[in-house]
Amino acid sequence: MVGANAPALAQADFETAAPYAILMDHESGAILYQRGADERVEPASMAKLMTVAVALDLVRQGALDLEDTIQISEHAWRTGGAPARGTTMFAELGSRVRVDDLLHSTIIQSGNDATIALAEGIAGSETAFAGLMNQFAIEIGLKNSHFTNPSGLPDPEMYSTVRDLALLARYIIREFPDYYPVFSEEAFEWNGIYQRNRNDLVGQLGIDGLKTGSTNAAGHGVVVSTTEGERRLVGVVHGLATAQQRTDDMRRLITWGTTSFERLPAFAEGSIIGHASVYGGADSQVGLVGERGVDIFLLRGNRQCLRGNITYRMPILPPVKRGDQIAHLNIFCDDQLVQAVPLYAAEDVEVGGIVRRATDALWELAFGWLPF
């Protein structure tokens, strides 16, 4: 079956005041709930997650060391420090601060001065660092985000979606397991200044990160992850009127996600779940697999309603690379779409020869569809 690449889930079993929300299974990427998930939003301080991801990737490559020090420029001090009256680590103008401390401040207390200093120390300027953020976003599969500064300070040209923010959080958890525990630290004390984690959900309902954000225009949002129950979930809500409403709605979403579903193992890791047609490829089809194993999460007591299909956007054109996300496995209960699992190419498919391309072209011309 063919169709849109991002199916919309019907949401009869949960309601949120958030205009933008998503709940994702960390292991498989399956979507359990979404509302306005692909609408562009101002990310506010949740944009700092991308700054952290870029910096930690450079540490992993050896291009940056946690013990390196970065000087606090006048721009970082004036724009993000005490004079700005925003969230800050109160770093002194001209002082040098370790990368590790700048990252702790960025993650725990959302220090704008720390975040700007990181960007300047890595790339020379906020603008140059934003270029790194956008390049990295493309590399890790964020499809609807554009960053113009590292801190999330308001800019009409900066946007993301709650889906992209969830995918970014999932990337950080998966790729930086040794550093991820910093997100769950209750406070950060530096230079005699003690500041509590601005994510007040940390420590509740198994939540061990990640980041809050708010501006007058965007409202209040938060990205969290929890290990409560049988699996890790990543959730995002955004656009709420108050910080308390943000906290309450995320508690409700996490509680619903961790208590309302039963887990049914469906496909082992590497199992071919289905096939998709490739137009003009050396092979006419490509196998589809989950990112890892695929489990189905059904609302408790609804095992008898289960059915599913695979959708993807036509035409799929070669070359197709193994690991490309090209389809979704859609799980229905009584004609209601309750779960969407991303599917990936199981192998490479190169461009076909002239005979194959001509044959596929004739099929499309004659029937408007391709052979399965």
Q: State pLDDT tens for residues 221-263.
A: 999 999 998 789 999 999 999 999 999 999 999 999 998 888 8
Q: CA 102, CA 66: separation in Å to the nearest integer?
A: 9
- 201: tokens are 């959900």
User: Per residue in 142-175, pLDDT tens?
Assistant: 999 999 999 999 999 999 999 999 999 999 999 9
Read off the CATH number of the domain in which 177 is found.
3.40.710.10
CB distance 342 to 291 below 8 Å: yes
Q: Is residue 14 part of a domain?
A: no
Q: CA 224, CA 174: separation in Å to the nearest integer?
A: 14
Q: Which residues of 21-37 are buried (b: 16+ CB within 10 A; e: fewer)?
A: bbbbbbbbbbbbbbbbb
CB distance 152 to 46 below 8 Å: yes
Is the pLDDT at 7 greater than 70? The verdict is no
CB distance 221 to 46 below 8 Å: yes
User: Where does a domain end: 224, 259, 294?
Assistant: 259
Read off the CATH number of the domain in which 334 is found.
2.60.410.10
Q: Are residues 241 and 311 in the same domain?
A: no
Q: Is residue 351 part of a domain?
A: yes
Q: Are residues 284 and 254 in the same domain?
A: no
Burial (Cβ within 10 Å: 0-12, 13-18, ≥19) of residue 242: exposed
- 360: tokens are 């596929």
- Mean pLDDT score of the chain, rounded to an integer? 89
Number of domains observed in the structure of the chain: 2
User: Per residue in 258-300, pLDDT tens?
Assistant: 988 888 888 999 999 999 999 888 898 999 999 888 888 877 7
User: Where does a domain end: 259, 275, 296?
Assistant: 259
Q: CA 26, CA 232: separation in Å to the nearest integer?
A: 6
Q: Are residues 171 and 73 in the same domain?
A: yes
User: Where does a domain end: 207, 224, 259?
Assistant: 259
Give the contacts of 118 (CB within 8 A, at least 6 positions apart): 51, 55, 70, 99, 102, 103, 106, 129, 150
Q: Are residues 275 and 132 in the same domain?
A: no
Look at residue 340 and give its three-state secondary structure.
Answer: strand
Q: Which residues form the domain of 319?
A: 265-367
Burial (Cβ within 10 Å: 0-12, 13-18, ≥19) of residue 158: buried
Q: CA 372, CA 356: separation in Å to the nearest integer?
A: 14
Q: Which helix (H) or strand (E) segment is 83 a member of?
A: none
Between 12 and 163, the more confident residue is 163
Residues 132-136 have a mean pLDDT of: 98
Catalytic residue numbers read 45, 48, 110
CB distance 235 to 22 below 8 Å: yes
Between 84 and 162, the more confident residue is 162
Q: Is residue 5 part of a domain?
A: no
Dihedrals phi, psi of 160, to nearest 5 degrees: -155, -170
